[in-house]
Amino acid sequence: MTDNQADRNERFEEFKEDRFPTTHEGVRTLLAQINPVKYAQSRNFSDGAVSRLSPYISRGFLSTRQVYKHVKSLGLSWYQAEKFTQELAWRDYWQQVWLAKGEGIHTDLKRPQEKVNNRQMPLAVVEASTGVEVVDVAIRELYESGYMHNHMRMYVASICCNVARCHWLTPARWMYAHLLDGDLASNQLSWQWVAGAFSNKKYYANQDNINKYFKSAQKNTFLDVGYEAFEELEIPEALLETTTEALECRLPITDAPNLDATKKTLVYNYYNLDPLWHKDEDVQRIFLLEPSVFQKHPVSQRSLDFAIDLSKNISNIKVFVGEYEELLQQVAPAQIAYKEHPLNLHYQGTEEPREWMSSVQGYFPSFFGFWKKCKKELRQ
């Protein structure tokens, strides 16, 4: 390991413990610290009062219902809590779209993305050398920590899709891989929303917008134009060279755990690390890491390590690296329980429901149709 790598790893460990703890106590402390009022006022700014709960919701460590119940316990008015609650609803909405559309979330869902020049992504984005200073800093931070502010994700997506005219799928896969809170539904569908494939229009942000929300004063970049110029803007020279980043996920090398074929077995995975699931029962607990899933949807070593660290909050959990069919060679489906999820369609055993914020289910073409029903229920 080089000195630079050691320094980066040390910085990440400090960052993780400070901002993204992996102990149950640390996560509960983060939950207790959220401020929905300040969140509503400042969430779009780089130093805004964001909750930092996203990685735990993505990994199934917390549910949107748990977070909402905490927000209700604060005694705020509906008006004060509404924006934060609405953002939780976005989470459930993306998941409902995924349940309804399945593999379709990896394709243009509503309409083809317009003005696509290629299906790669700008090399300058991969190398954090776009020339837009705060964007480049944010990309380097993504690599080092697995974090990128939600507003910045929109900026990066707009640069890739709407300025460089790359199809959204390749850069979406790149971002998903590096995010601690990588969630296929939220990630793919948000990129489609920016690119105009799951929305009525493309999302653009110019340099003035970036300067405002990320406390910058930079001028004379390729984004330093009026909004009316974007539709006819030529691809900037800085974004012309494209690439497809080689994404690879190396799962841990472990000995196959000794399993009790007669014991009730709970199967956890990258999207379900709920430490409270059947907490006080005497059961066998397996953290299943399927190579086929991570080959199709690779994640960074940092993201995988974060999930493994979270799994350590689950008593006596055993890591099983292998396909579900291999697990069935040791434990019969009659003994297995797992939580519903779009990536679990091949599982056999007893499927248990996930916990949602509301009872609103099914596909809605727009978020606000979904939100209207959620809001009506939640306000009662």
Percentage of residues in the chain having pLDDT higher than 70 = 95
> Is 50 exceeded by the pLDDT of residue 11?
no
Tell me if the pTM is above 0.85: yes
* Mean pLDDT score of the chain: 94
Contacts for 6 with CB less than 8 Å, ≥ 6 apart: none
pLDDT in tens, 358-373: 999 999 999 999 999 9
What is the rounded average pLDDT of the residues 346-356?
A: 97
Is the pLDDT at 3 greater than 70, yes or no?
A: no
> Residue 17: its pLDDT value, please?
53
Which pLDDT score, from 0 to 100, does residue 204 have? Answer: 97
The pLDDT of residue 5? 45
Please report which residue ranges of 20-63 form alpha helices under DSSP H.
Answer: 24-33, 36-42, 54-58
pLDDT digits (tens, 9 = 90+) for 197-242: 999 899 999 999 999 999 999 999 999 999 999 999 999 999 999 9
- pLDDT tens-digit map of 51-83: 999 999 999 999 999 999 999 999 999 999 999
Domain with CATH 1.10.579.10 in the chain: 121-243
CB–CB of 139/86 below 8 Å? no
Question: For 265-348, CATH number?
Answer: 3.40.50.620
In contact, 281 and 251? CB cutoff 8 Å: no
| Residue 14 pLDDT > 90 | no
CATH 3.40.50.300 fits 121-243, yes or no: no
Does residue 16 have a pLDDT over 60?
no
How far is C-alpha 191 from the chain's CA centre?
A: 12
The 10s digit of each residue's pLDDT in 80-99 is: 999 999 999 999 999 999 99
Q: How far apart are the first and last CA of the chain?
A: 57
Cβ(121)–Cβ(201) below 8 Å? no
For the chain, residues classed under CATH 3.40.50.620 are 265-348
Backbone angles phi, psi at 108, to 5 degrees: -65, 110
Q: Which two tokens stand for residue 42?
A: 């400042």
E strand map for the chain: 121-122, 242-243, 265-268, 284-289, 318-321, 336-339, 350-352
